[in-house]
Amino acid sequence: MKLIIFFLVVGAGVFAVKLFLKGRSNRRRRELLNVPFPQAWSIILNNNLPPYQMMPPELQKQLGEYIRIFIGEKSFEGCGGLILTDEIKVTIAAQACMLLLNRKCECYPKLYSILVYPSTYVAGARDSLALPPTDSSVRLGESWSHGAVVLAWDSVKGGAMNFRDGHNVTMHEFAHQLDQEDGRGDGVPILGTRSAYSAWSRVFSEEYESLQRKTEAGKKSLMDKYGATDPAEFFAVATETFFEKPVQLKKKHPELYHELQSFYLVSPDEW
């Protein structure tokens, strides 16, 4: 009996703390959204992110709200001598938040820090956060399940400004973040219904195996062959292709396009 009371008291305490934190977070978000979207940030979006101008006003408004929350809640850190600017923060936040539009979801709840290097960096040589060491290969970006994304600014900006080449390192790394939200980086993000999981599993397995076969045979494919590495990379690369080459993806891989559209709830082929 005493044990039951103990657990009830602990449970009530945890619930009260969660409620308090949620209330504080909601208040903070209201404060962030009460500030008008800075004109200087609109100029950055217009200059650095071509699809922004093509988006319907409702999506532009949503994106503006997500960007304010993202920049207000996440910690940005310049690495390798990089001085952070609004241009860097807004360009990263905008591309990351394009993956959240219409989905009424939390804003990367497990992500705390974005580490930005000036250009391609050597993994394992990070200069601030105590992240797990890896091999010392050159990287454009990385997504850690421990709450951090690491990016190279030159690749981030290049990926944003050239929005039709199928390569976007920011979207790639943030797709990994979405994939990791359920605790597993396995190429299957949180989908909701059982039927959604079974359709996703069938289509993604077939498409992943098809890309592997093409890659092994040295054949050309719409998606970057890096997607054939494993299912998690396939989802990240498919996300890049969905946003950057939507018309071609819809035509050549209609089922894959449909699954991604059902998840992302936007139609980038119309932008």
Query: Residue 64 is encoded by which pair of tokens?
Result: 């503006």
CA distance 254 to 116: 35
Q: Which stretch binds Zn ion (CB under 5 A): 9-17, 29-37, 52-60, 228-236?
A: 228-236
CB of 108 to Zn ion, least distance (A): 16
C-beta of 74 vs 167, nearer to Zn ion: 167
CB of 188 to Zn ion, least distance (A): 15
Q: Which stretch binds Zn ion (CB under 5 A): 88-96, 180-188, 192-200, 227-235?
A: 227-235
Q: Which stretch binds Zn ion (CB under 5 A): 40-48, 148-156, 212-220, 231-239?
A: 231-239
CA distance 147 to 140: 18
CB of 149 to Zn ion, least distance (A): 11
Please say whether the dihedral angle defined by the alpha carbons of residues 57, 58, 61 and 67, taken in this order, is positive or negative: negative
Decide if residue 169 touches Zn ion (CB under 5 A). Answer: no
Residue length of the chain: 271
Q: Which stretch binds Zn ion (CB under 5 A): 60-68, 151-159, 181-189, 233-241?
A: 233-241
Closest CA relative to residue 138, chosen from 117, 123, 157, 154: 123
- For the chain, where are the E strands, in sequence order? 75-78, 113-117, 121-122, 138-139, 141-144, 148-152
Binder of Zn ion out of 97, 236, 260, 266 (CB under 5 A): 236
CB of 237 to Zn ion, least distance (A): 8
With CB atoms as reference, the residue minimizing the distance to Zn ion is 236
Kindly state the number of chain residues that form the binding site for Zn ion, as judged by CB under 5 A: 2
Q: Indicate the angle between helix axes 86-97 and 153-161, nearest 10 degrees.
A: 60
CB of 226 to Zn ion, least distance (A): 7
Placement of tokens 């997607």 in the chain: 227
**Under DSSP, is residue 76 helix (H, G, I), strand (E, B) or coil?**
strand
Residues that bind Zn ion (CB under 5 A): 233, 236
